[in-house]
Amino acid sequence: MRWSSVVRQCRLDCVRVDLFGLSNMLFMLLCPVLSCVAALVLTVTGAPGQVAVSVSGGVSGMAALMSWMSALRVNVVEESSGHRAMNGMIPIARTSQVAGRFLFLLVTCAMWTVDVMVCSVFLAFGDMMDSGWAGAMIPSAVIFAFSLIVGSILMAFSYRFTFRAMMRIFVVVIVGLYALVALLSRLPFDWQGLLQGVADFMSVWWRAALIAVVLCVGVYCISAALAIRFYRAKEL
């Protein structure tokens, strides 16, 4: 696998979805602008810090969703337009194509993470967030890790299933997880104590950072390996 080919594939994907186009850049600027307006309103009205945290949570959730959608948009375009059949004709090996697609995922996650970071800085300005400046950066790290993990899993299975089938599976998995949580909550077990113990363990920043790095790298690499295996077995 040649890294020059990986970068070429990533650049091709950026062009396919116009990632750095004017419309996409304006949409990404919307979150910081709204956060700036919200910060001014909260400062003038003297709203409590919990409101700023709620606004930051809403922006972070939207950023996570948009990072997945931006990364998977290439696969949707290929599937709907039939471009994936043309991938066998471009002078880039299949392994490099998949690696470039995962590099593209990394780029989109980084872009939306920076977006959340800018929003958090606006909301933290003037000590509107009770956790201060350091706490304002936490959503950025969480969004990057969460987006990369979920995006990697979805990206891998996009090489095995169609987008519609994958969305059906995703809905079934989410419903199944909710049902499992509801079932486990009825069992005679001290879940609150367990969650408190986990929270205490993760309260040390280096432990949380280490676990996040291991999860991100592990899921990212395993998902990329699965995607390469699925793609090699597929007829173009």
* Residue 222 confidence (pLDDT): 96
| Location of structure tokens 């002078």 | 91
Q: What is the pLDDT along the chain (236 residues), one digit of tens a residue?
A: 678 889 999 998 888 888 888 888 887 777 777 777 776 776 666 655 566 666 666 777 777 777 777 778 888 877 777 666 677 778 888 899 999 999 999 999 888 888 878 777 766 665 545 555 566 677 788 888 988 998 899 899 888 888 888 888 888 888 888 888 888 778 777 777 777 887 787 777 788 889 999 999 999 999 999 999 998 887 76
Domain that holds residue 94: 3-149+156-232
Sign of CA dihedral 117, 120, 122, 124: negative
- Asked if 227 and 102 count as a contact pair (C-beta separation under 8 A), the reply is yes
pLDDT at 96: 92
What pLDDT is stored for residue 105 in this prediction?
Answer: 92
User: Cα(94)–Cα(231) distance, rounded to whole angstroms?
Assistant: 7
Whether 53 contacts 129, CB under 8 Å: yes
Rounded CA Rg of the chain: 20
**Residue 52 in contact with residue 123, Cβ under 8 Å?**
yes
Q: Which two tokens stand for residue 71?
A: 């990364």
Q: How many domains does the chain have?
A: 1
* CA–CA separation, 114 and 106 (whole Å): 12
Within 10 angstroms of residue 110's Cβ, the number of other Cβ atoms is 14
